[in-house]
Each structure stands twice: as structure tokens, then as C-alpha cells.
């Protein structure tokens, strides 16, 4: 029986074989690796992944699809909302290895999921995701561009990222109303360790009024915290490089520790 895509789950199933082949080739899964697929849907990526793996863990919320997936003895099926999955615990259950996370992600959870995985980045080897092209544009955006924002800063702080390919709507059933892209995300081996909640708060405040100079937002926030250092607040949030946001969070953290 054909599965009818459900709008509430944001389901758009990938059906283009050439795109599927390109994605699997880019992932290059190896036998024995702990690969986790988010939202396997109708198994378009699942099947070619299993051709290269002994076993695959899949995370699926749709109960009808879960039943289908559970029939495959090669699959470890996690029936859950992915935003509720503890990836550290999942890594432990798979032998403590760092996870390779892949998926054609529902557009309605893409940004929350990026932050959810950021919380567990220490157990992740890499991530390959199909996302709305606009989201990936923002993830990869550079300072001084209109696409540069909160998600750009937070993800570039911890990941090296690159666009693998762009995917048109007709590669899906049903076709979405937006273009898609595939991104590779690899955790950085060298990064400045600052408390993630502090950096998140700082960046959220800075971008709360993008059209204004940050003296109206971040500047007042820094004053309220009694920040005694120097920071140029005569700029818009999108003009400030990632490294400067991170350095400011580091200075605040060190000041609090004194």
C-alpha cells in the first residue's frame, strides 16, 4: 500500500535516483560505522545505505512508516520525535563510537534540530543533511551579508560546512515549494571553548533587531552585565565576524569566573 505523505510531519520523499546516488557517494558509509538516518520515510536513502553497511539506525516518528521499517532485520528503529532523542545515549548504545548522522530533514524542524545536535556534537563524527536551500544559505553565510544570522554564528563556531549539491523540487514526491540543498557538517577539531548557553544568549540578543546598530541591543545587554571590556557596538549584528562573537563570550565567561 502506498504511503500518503503527511503535511504535519513535513514529509517530502526523495525519489530522484541520481540525487540519491550523489548523496550516498558523498556520505561514503563504511561497514561497521554507526550511521544514524533521521526521517528515513520510504527508505530512498535507507536502501542504498544498507548496501554498504551491516546495520543502520533510523529515527522515525510516523507510526505507519515505523511498522514498515521494523520488518527489516538490518534496521535498528528508534520510534521517536528526533528532537527528543538523546544522541549521547544513542552513541553509547551503539558501542560508544562517534555517530555519522544523515537525513532528508523535514523543513519544519531543521533549525531546532541543528541546535539539538549541536548540544551533542562531541558524539558526532559528521552530518550530511538535505535541507531547504535557504536554511543552508544561512548556515554558510558570511558576515556582511543579509543571510548572516544566529544560525550562521552558532554552527560556524563548531563546524566546518560545505554545500554538496542543490536539489530541485521535482526530485521529491510531493514536490516542495522551495529548492533544497545537501550540506556536509564536520565538527571542528580546534575551536574556542565557551559556554554554549552564553554564546546562544549573546547572539540571540545581537540579532534581535537586525536593522539597528547593536548598541541598542547587545550594548545594553553588556552594560546590564557590567562588562568592563571593549567591544565595537557601532555595527549591525550581521557585520560582526563569528570569531568576535566567540571572543566576546570568552571574555564574559572569564570575567564571571573571577
Q: Is the peptide bond prior to 174 cis by the omega test (within 30 degrees of 0)?
A: yes
Rg (CA), the chain: 20
Q: What DSSP string describes 186-221?
A: EE-SS-----HHHHHHHHHHHGGGTTSBGGGTHHHH
Q: Are 109 and 10 in contact (CB under 8 A)?
A: yes
Block residue for cell numbers 549539491: 165
Which residues, given as ranges, of the chain have pLDDT below 70?
Answer: 1-12, 258
Q: What DSSP string describes 1-29?
A: -PPPP-GGGT--EE--HHHHHHHHHHH--
Domains of the chain, with CATH numbers?
Answer: 7-187 (3.40.50.150), 196-257 (1.10.8.100)
Which tens digit of pLDDT belongs to each residue from 99-155? 999 998 887 889 999 999 999 999 999 999 999 999 999 999 999 999 999 999 999
Q: Are 61 and 9 in contact (CB under 8 A)?
A: yes
- DSSP conformation class of 134: H
Residues of each annotated binding site for S-adenosyl-L-methionine: 12, 14, 39, 60, 81, 104
Q: Which residues contact 148 (CB under 8 A, 6 or more apart)?
A: 138, 141, 142, 238
126 is written with which cell numbers? 559528521
Q: Are 69 and 79 in contact (CB under 8 A)?
A: no
Residues 238 and 232: their CA atoms lie apart, in Å, by 13
Residues of each annotated binding site: 12, 14, 39, 60, 81, 104
Whole-number pLDDT of residue 10 = 45
Whole-number pLDDT of residue 173 = 84
Residues 169 and 15: their CA atoms lie apart, in Å, by 11
Helix/strand/coil percentages in the chain, nearest 5: 45, 20, 35
Whole-number pLDDT of residue 4 = 45
Amino acid at each position: 500500500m502506498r504511503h500518503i505523505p503527511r503535511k504535519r510531519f513535513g514529509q517530502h520523499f526523495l525519489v530522484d535516483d541520481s540525487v540519491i546516488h550523489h548523496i550516498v557517494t558523498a556520505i561514503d558509509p563504511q561497514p561497521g560505522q554507526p550511521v544514524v538516518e533521521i526521517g528515513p520515510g520510504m527508505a530512498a536513502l535507507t536502501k542504498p545505505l544498507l548496501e554498504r553497511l551491516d546495520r543502520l539506525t533510523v529515527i522515525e516518528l510516523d507510526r505507519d512508516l515505523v511498522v514498515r521499517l521494523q520488518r527489516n532485520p538490518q534496521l535498528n528503529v528508534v520510534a521517536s520525535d528526533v528532537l527528543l532523542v538523546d544522541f549521547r545515549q544513542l552513541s553509547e548504545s551503539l558501542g560508544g563510537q562517534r555517530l555519522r548522522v544523515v537525513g532528508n530533514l523535514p523543513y519544519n524542524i531543521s533549525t531546532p534540530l541543528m541546535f539539538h545536535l549541536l548540544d551533542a556534537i562531541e558524539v558526532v563524527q559528521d552530518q550530511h543533511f538535505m535541507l531547504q536551500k535557504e536554511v543552508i544559505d544561512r548556515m554558510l553565510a558570511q558576515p556582511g551579508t543579509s543571510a548572516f544570522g544566529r544560525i550562521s554564528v552558532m554552527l560556524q563556531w563548531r563546524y566546518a560546512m560545505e554545500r554538496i549539491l542543490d536539489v530541485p523540487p521535482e526530485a521529491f514526491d510531493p514536490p516542495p515549494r522551495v529548492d533544497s540543498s545537501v550540506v556536509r557538517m564536520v565538527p571542528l577539531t580546534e575551536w574556542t571553548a565557551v559556554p554554549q548557553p552564553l554564546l546562544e544568549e549573546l547572539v540571540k540578543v545581537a540579532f534581535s533587531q537586525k536593522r539597528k546598530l547593536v548598541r541598542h541591543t547587545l550594548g545594553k545587554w553588556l552594560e546590564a552585565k557590567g562588562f568592563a571590556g571593549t567591544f565595537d557596538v557601532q555595527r549591525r549584528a550581521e557585520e560582526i565576524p563569528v570569531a568576535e562573537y566567540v571572543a566576546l563570550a570568552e571574555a564574559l565567561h572569564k570575567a564571571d569566573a573571577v
